[in-house]
Amino acid sequence: MPLISSKDTSQPPEPAAQKTQQSKKLSFLKRLREKYSELPGSEQKIADIILDTPGDIATYSATELAERAGGSKAAITRLIQRLGYESYESARRDVRDSQAWGSPVSLARRQDEDGDFASRLRSQIDQDMSCIHDAFGDLTEEDATEISDALIQAPKVWIIGYRSNQFLAGYFRWQLIQARPDVHLLPKAGETLGESLADIGKNDLLVVMGLRRRTPLIDTVLNWSERNKVRSFLITDPTSRATGSPTWTHRCDVRGREVLDRYQGVMSLLHFFSMSVLDRAGAQGRKRLTQLEEIHGDLDQFV
């Protein structure tokens, strides 16, 4: 919790037009934290409410927020202007932008009613099922066939992902190697991006896991694949504004009602393509699966 200042000045905030260009680049929460110690007491009470559940400002009106903080709408107006915004609505847009790219802090909202344990379990299952249904909503048979064939026929498959996308990329690789060889996970430890991409051939397939929160490297990779005419399959979410032109793009919604994103739909999609590859690989796929099982037995790897 930020330190509470005893200063309670009634001096009007600096006009928004006089704010520096640097302040305009700061997120709403960063501006609020940096200005907190300078706020008068009436505005600090409002700031405390916002910092506790930042997501509320995206849905609350100025009047509703004032009522919740026990303050006035005028105090909220002064606070917003002090942070460099011309209006409360412009501040709300800033918070919504942060929510769109997946900031857990900006998504935090007050929970009026947690519900009993059974209700929470039902909510968990319902949200997961919703994500799974959404993951397949736009998948056509034509695209599914083309992508599955590419996953089988490419000399090498390269799967890249950063942050939470890396564990999804790792899972997809682990599934695919049951049916075919030469499936590689990027980035490799200690390598630069250029070193990771150096071995990708023009006939290979690049699978890009680009679910939020994405790093700028995702756009870099997609632009590189487009320039070098390497086929790419981008798995992302509805908030994606990725540059480049992937050969295939598929979006999965990862949002539920809580702060953390949900990946059940994505996992189901990856399992679908893994099984599709295994089925379409036919005898070769079964031969590889049998070979792997024989090696497991020789090495006595499982109990």
Q: What is the pLDDT of residue 67?
A: 86
Tokens of 131: 């994500």
List, run by run, the mean pLDDT of 10-residue segments along the chain (303 residues): 36 41 58 83 84 74 85 89 89 73 48 70 88 88 95 96 92 94 89 86 95 83 93 87 82 78 92 94 79 80 74
Max CA-CA distance within the chain? 79
The continuous run of DSSP H or E covering 185 comes out as strand 183-186
Angle between the N-to-C axes of helices 41-52 and 28-35, in degrees from 0 to 180, rounded to the nearest 10: 140
Q: What are phi and psi of 63, to 5 degrees?
A: -65, -45
Alpha helices in 137-260 (DSSP H): 141-153, 164-176, 193-197, 217-227
SS3 content of the chain, % helix, strand, coil (to 5): 55, 10, 35
CA 152/CA 276 separation, integer angstroms: 10
Other CB atoms within a 10 A radius of the CB of residue 287 amount to: 11
The answer to pTM > 0.75 is: no
The pLDDT tens digits of the residues spanning 136-166 come to 988 899 999 999 999 999 999 999 998 889 9
Q: What is the set of domains in the chain, with CATH numbers? A: 16-107 (1.10.10.10), 135-299 (3.40.50.10490)
Three-class secondary structure of residue 209 per DSSP: strand
Q: What is the pLDDT of residue 246?
A: 92
Q: What is the pLDDT of residue 298?
A: 78
Three-class secondary structure of residue 69 per DSSP: helix
- Name residue, tokens 């309670």: 8
The continuous run of DSSP H or E covering 248 comes out as strand 248-251
Tokens of 137: 């909503």
Q: What are phi and psi of 236, to 5 degrees?
A: -140, -165
Q: What is the pLDDT of residue 151?
A: 97
